[in-house]
Amino acid sequence: MNPLLDLSQRDEPIYNGWCTIPSSWSAEVMARAGWHSVTLDLQHGLIDYSHVVPMFQAIQLTGTVPLARAPWNEPGIVMKLLDAGALGVICPMVNTAEECARFVGACRYPPIGYRSYGPLRARAAFGADYEHSAQRSTLAFAMIETAEALRHLDAILDVPGLSGVYVGPADLSLSLGSAERSDPTNPHVLDAIARVAMACRARGLIAGIHCGSSAFAHQMIALGYRFITVSTDSALLSQAVRDVLEQLRGGRSSSRGGVY
* Residue closer to its own copies (CB basis): 110 or 204: 110
Burial 22-46 (b: 16+ CB within 10 A, else e): bbbebbbbbbeeebbbbbbbbbebe
Q: Using CB atoms within 10 A of its CB, is residue 14 exposed (0-12), middle (13-18) or buried (19+)?
A: buried
Q: How far is the CB of 108 from its own copies (least distance, A)?
A: 11
Candidates 98, 127, 160, 185: give the one binding its own copies (CB under 8 A): 127
The answer to whether the CB of 167 falls within 8 A of the CB of 144 is yes
Q: How far is the CB of 234 from its own copies (least distance, A)?
A: 6
Q: Does 31 bind its own copies (CB under 8 A)?
A: yes
- Per the annotation, the verdict on 152 as an active-site residue is no
Angle at alpha carbon of residue 14, lines to 229 and 217, rounded to 5°? 45
Q: Which stretch binds its own copies (CB under 8 A): 96-104, 152-160, 200-208, 231-239?
A: 231-239
Q: How far is the CB of 197 from its own copies (least distance, A)?
A: 18
* Residue closer to its own copies (CB basis): 198 or 215: 215
| Residue 253: CB atoms within 10 Å | 9
Q: Using CB atoms within 10 A of its CB, is residue 190 exposed (0-12), middle (13-18) or buried (19+)?
A: middle
Q: Does 86 bind its own copies (CB under 8 A)?
A: no
User: Cα(148)–Cα(136) distance, rounded to whole angstroms?
Assistant: 29
Q: Does 71 bind its own copies (CB under 8 A)?
A: yes
Candidates 6, 12, 76, 151: give the one binding its own copies (CB under 8 A): 76
* Residue closer to its own copies (CB basis): 129 or 191: 129
Q: Does 1 bind its own copies (CB under 8 A)?
A: no
Which residue in 5, 47, 7 sits closest to 232, CA to CA? 47
Q: Does 208 bind its own copies (CB under 8 A)?
A: no
Binding mask of the shown chain, residues 95 to 124, with x at each position contacting its own copies by CB under 8 A: --------------xxx--x-xxxxxx-xx
Which residue in 105, 46, 103, 42 sits closest to 73, CA to CA? 103
Q: Could you give the residue numbers annotated as active site?
A: 44
